Amino acid sequence: MAGILRLVILLYATVCAVLGSLDELKPRITYFGFRHSTAFLVNWEKPRKLNDNEIVRYEVATWMKNFEDQKMIVSTSPNKTSLVVMSLAPYTEYIVQVTAVTRMGRGPPSDPSPVLTDTAPPTTPLGLTISQITPRSVSLQWEQPEIFYRSIDSYEVELFSGGLPLRTLSTEDTKITVEDLTPGQDIVVRLCAVTKSVFGNANYEGESVQISLRTPLEAMTRSSEIPTTTSSEPPSTRVTTMPPGTTPTTTSRPRVVRGRKVESLASRTALAKLNWLRTGTRDQLAQARLANLQAEVAILQKIKLELEIAKLRRDL
């Protein structure tokens, strides 16, 4: 019995000696640095029992976790104890082993060490549309990008006008309302998704999508509507009607009929509408609308008469 016990102790000591010897032939990975979306830096120490002149090269094996059959092996010179491993997938866990190769062959590999690559910029947000627009604000909405890594931490909205930046806004939602705009302003909105780095303060901005828009002018009330006012002061009760012989028109440029120039009435229409905003009673508004309708009929009759006269002259 005592002999068996001594044999077991001897075998154990032998195994420990062999394993200890093997450990001293392994490189030891010390740390990972420069962790990028598609690359990282691995550093290691040379085996304790091997001299520099005994090592022919180092082999660095890298593979995705649970995919050891897809190893990527890169060789480096014996005097280097670091390597940048590239062509990796973003936000993916890899396993790394380093092996020292001597003239006698390959030694035991280092203990496997896990490493995670950093996140990467997401793709462009989808479906950017204008949900509502007013003279001084615009509401936008969109959907998250099709491809992103870990998460979308925010969206960056940039506004430009005339090629110059207006402002930059940030939101975690997939919609935003931009206020304090200028009526009648041409604006380009540029939108991109942002993902934060896992290992630092960097932000990865994805490709942007943009949309062009023009804020409408301040709305004018139509003649068929009763205008309202938001002023804190009471509106004026003075009503100015348009003179007879004029009529509202939707064009702001003079029209030419049969070679004769007909006066543009857009400015008079705007003036009348502004005057209506100063009214204080429904009766006065009704009188103003009646006068406008009478003027409209008069100018149409005048144009019709001129056309008939021109036709008679041609026939003569």
- pLDDT for the residue numbered 13: 42
- Are 237 and 284 in contact by the 8 Å Cβ rule? The answer is yes
Size of the chain, expressed as the number of residues it contains: 316
Looking at residues 30-44, what average pLDDT do you find?
Answer: 96
The residues near 23 (Cβ < 8 Å, ≥ 6 apart) are 108
Q: What is the DSSP letter of 255?
A: E
Asked which of 104-113, 133-142, 260-269 is least confident by mean pLDDT, the reply is 260-269
Following DSSP, what letter does each residue of 113-157 receive, concatenated?
EEEE---------EEEEEEEEETTEEEEEEE--S--SS---EEEE
pTM higher than 0.85: no
pLDDT in tens, 164-206: 999 999 999 999 999 999 999 999 999 999 999 999 899 999 9
Q: How distant is the alpha carbon of residue 283 from its chain centre?
A: 53
Which residues on adjacent β-strands are paired with residue 106?
101
Residue 226's closest CA among 295, 297, 284, 294? 284
Mean pLDDT of the chain: 77
pLDDT score of 310 more than 60: yes
| Helix boundaries (H) for 167-281 | 266-276
**Residue 62 identity:** T
Domains and CATH numbers, the chain: 21-116 (2.60.40.10), 126-214 (2.60.40.10), 220-316 (no CATH)
- pLDDT for the residue numbered 218: 86
- pLDDT for the residue numbered 283: 53
Parallel/antiparallel/unpaired status of strands 175-178 and 186-196: unpaired
